[in-house]
Amino acid sequence: MKRILSGIQSTGNLQLGNYLGAIRNWVKLQNETECFLFAADLHALTVFQNPQELRHNTQEALAMYLACGISEERAALFPQSMISEHAELMWILSCHTSMGWLNRMTQFKEKAGKQRDQANAGLYTYPILMAADILLYKPDSVPVGDDQKQHVEIARDIAGAFNRAYGVEVFILPEFLGMGPATRVMSLKDGTSKMSKSDPSDASRINLKDDPDTILQKIKKAKTDSGVFPANPDETEGRPEVKNLINIYCALTEKNPEFLYQQFGGKIFSPFKESLADVCVESLRPIREKFNHLMAHQDHLNNVIGQGVLKAKTVAEKTLLEVKEIIGLYKG
Ligand code: AMP
Ligand code: TRP
């Protein structure tokens, strides 16, 4: 059986982009693959986190995976930091990663901005930890949104460099797996920037925990433009916000945009927005309910996480031992 691995930083507020770009694809893949899915709490530390909130957000992220339809029988769900092999392998891999590769990473450039010298080193070495997360489990593919493609590519480069340096095949080069029409859901306030849980404006995103009224208000206020609803794809050109709302509708309903052009083409935006709000509310309702139920039953949730940790640990431990053997670390 093929294996997949993926994770999301546990910085709170999982949003629609996380669902459409990542979690929903894991749900689709879980019947035919063995899944390792974690909450990336170590990666979250690249930005200062309130300790209580971080711990809580990590548990919430894992509960949200389950609420979105991940089956505890099919997947190992775990917090990244519970498997110390991630951090240990990261060090070893960092000795096989050139600075040139890290310097090319667009995420670092974006996040560090002009104040590079002030950025913490974790932000810079972030891709090496991500490579360790991936390579420990030898997955065939890594289902993530578009923005993570470069990180999967560097993980492949690092794996290749390590294998070549020692003349081994210990690491499998993982495939980037982008799926579906919504690998990039954009902000409700700016169609050129990604919907993100770290955007200071809550109105820019639909959180998976948002109640129906909040969702309705956010969609009503979502940015469009002074034109009317497009009647064909050509009329969406140069209108990123409009394109994004259509994309969200189609991703959630798994329908083709054609019928939207027919139903709403030439009209003002409000009827379409009402319909979109309805689709969002009804798609997220079962998720929110299941999430609330899971969070209210801590024993069960912690038990599922405990099982996931055991399963992940067994695999991670084995790979790290192989690596230590190959590179000649002391065995005692
Ligand atoms: P992050 O929230 O940055 O930790 O991302 C976790 C996962 O969700 C990754 O696979 C991302 O590619 C995906 N993701 C996050 N935001 C979006 C978005 N706006 N559109 C599509 N995928 C997203
Ligand atoms: N960097 C990813 C993100 O922000 C989260 C992540 C960390 C990840 N380690 C990973 C995703 C390993 C896939 C595989 O979305």
Query: Can you give the residue ranges of every domain in the chain?
Result: 2-183+298-327, 210-292
Q: Ligand 1 mean position to 21 CA, how many Å?
A: 6
331 noted as active-site residue: no
Residue that is written with structure tokens 């974690």 in the block: 38
The answer on pLDDT for 180 being more than 90 is no
Alpha-carbon dihedral angle through residues 258, 262, 263, 267, given to the nearest 10 degrees: 120
Q: Are 80 and 39 in contact (CB under 8 A)?
A: yes
The answer on pLDDT for 271 being more than 90 is yes
Q: Is 283 in the pocket of ligand 2 (CB under 6 A)?
A: no
318 noted as active-site residue: no
- Give dist(CA 106, CA 148) in Å, integer: 10
Confidence of residue 181 (pLDDT cuts 50, 70, 90): low
Of residues 54, 53, 59, the one with CA closest to residue 79: 59
> How large is the average pLDDT for residues 26-41?
97
* Class (C level, CATH) for 210-292: mainly alpha
pTM, full prediction: 0.95
Confidence of residue 328 (pLDDT cuts 50, 70, 90): very high
Q: Residue 99: helix, strand or coil by DSSP? A: helix
Q: Which of 2, 109, 111, 221 is catalytic?
A: 111
Is the domain spanning 2-183+298-327 CATH 3.40.50.2300? The answer is no
Determine the residue of 20, 35, 147 to mutate for testing ligand 1's pocket, defined as the one with the most ligand atoms within 8 A of the Cβ atom: 147
Q: Is 43 in the pocket of ligand 2 (CB under 6 A)?
A: yes
Q: Is 18 in the pocket of ligand 1 (CB under 6 A)?
A: yes
Burial class of residue 226, CB neighbours in 10 A (0-12, 13-18, 19+): exposed
- Rounded to a whole number, what is the largest CA-CA distance in the chain? 75
Tell me the helices (H) and strands (E) count for the chain, helix number first. Answer: 14, 5
Confidence of residue 58 (pLDDT cuts 50, 70, 90): very high
- Give dist(CA 286, CA 69) in Å, integer: 10
Give the amino acid at 267.
Answer: K
Q: Which pLDDT does position 178 carry in this prediction?
A: 87
Q: How many C-beta neighbours within 10 Å does residue 135 have?
A: 26
Q: Are 101 and 157 in contact (CB under 8 A)?
A: yes
Q: How many residues does the chain have?
A: 332
Residue that is written with structure tokens 């949104």 in the block: 145
Q: Is 25 in the pocket of ligand 1 (CB under 6 A)?
A: no
Q: Is 184 in the pocket of ligand 1 (CB under 6 A)?
A: yes
Q: How many C-beta neighbours within 10 Å does residue 171 have?
A: 23
With a CB cutoff of 8 Å and minimum separation 6, the contacts of 294 are: 63, 66, 67, 300, 301
Closest CA to ligand 2's atom 5: 8
Q: Which of 2, 114, 138, 194 is catalytic?
A: 194
Give the tens place of pLDDT for each residue, 65-97: 999 999 999 999 999 999 999 999 999 999 999
197 noted as active-site residue: yes
